[in-house]
Amino acid sequence: MAKLNQIIAVEKGVKSKSYQDVTAAHQRLQKPALLVGIARTYQPKDEEGEQLPPESTRVQVKAEDVLREMATSLTRLFDVTATKDWANCSARADVVVDGRTVVADVPVSYLLFLEKQLAELHGFVKKLPVLDAAETWSLDPSTDWWKTEPVRTIRTRKVPRNHVKAEATEKHPAQVEVYYEDVPIGYWTTVKFSGALAARTVNELLERVEKLQNAVKFAREEANSAEVADRRVGEAVFGYLLG
């Protein structure tokens, strides 16, 4: 008995050959000249007349033979595909992570589905927003958001000041330069909030997804190593069609 993974391995080649054979058969039957033949002889009207040799053209393609050849090629394809599909109905395995059975008795087709979905989920998790590492965050139970500690900053206002560069004299006015000074007028107290995730949470989730991905791949390989019974469907189909 063959194993399912062996059947899967040869299926592509069988499909390719069957496609080539069917295409070749179609092309041969589309050339009417290959399907016809002729045989003719010449007899002069009298004995003194010109004698001509007989002429003949053989039939090069017989449609019935082409059908039989095509049936032989497709029978192999039908049998290989049937063997695989019947086996897929019975080939199953458990998805096990760290000794824990996450999903039991999973058929191959669903393992393939899981594998694709987990690949997409892995890409999604990698792009999850992460809390800014430059801040210190804690979970606020009242809002269920992450928040930072309050940070107090000064609010200032620019106030003009005069700087006397030279005192006034009897002949010259005072030389005064105006400059602006930042004068504290109040305080801002800022608390930042975030709905992002802690980096540790994202990393742990990624690790779990990757473990599950590996477990699904192992389960698929185990299911595909199951022994399968050969199915003979093609003979029945073409026995009916061409019988």
Per-residue pLDDT of 137-159, as tens digits, reads 999 999 999 999 999 999 999 99
What is the Rg, in whole angstroms, of the alpha carbon atoms belonging to the chain?
43
Beta-sheet pairing, 227-228 with 2-3: antiparallel
Can you give the pTM of this predicted structure?
0.66
Please say if the pLDDT value at position 219 is more than 90.
yes
Per-residue pLDDT of 3-26, as tens digits, reads 888 888 888 899 999 999 989 998
- Beta-bridged to residue 155, according to DSSP, are 186
Per-residue pLDDT of 21-70, as tens digits, reads 989 998 888 888 888 899 999 888 888 888 889 989 888 888 888 999 99
Q: Where are the beta strands (DSSP E) in the chain?
A: 2-3, 38-40, 55-57, 92-97, 100-107, 137-140, 145-148, 151-166, 175-190, 193-194, 227-228
Task: Please report which confidence band the pLDDT of residue 1 belongs to, taking 50, 70 and 90 as the band edges.
Answer: low
CB atoms within 10 A of CB 84: 18
Short-list 130, 96, 79, 68, CA closest to 220? 96
Q: What is the DSSP code (8-state) at residue 49? A: S
29 vs 118, more confident:
118
pLDDT of residue 243: 76
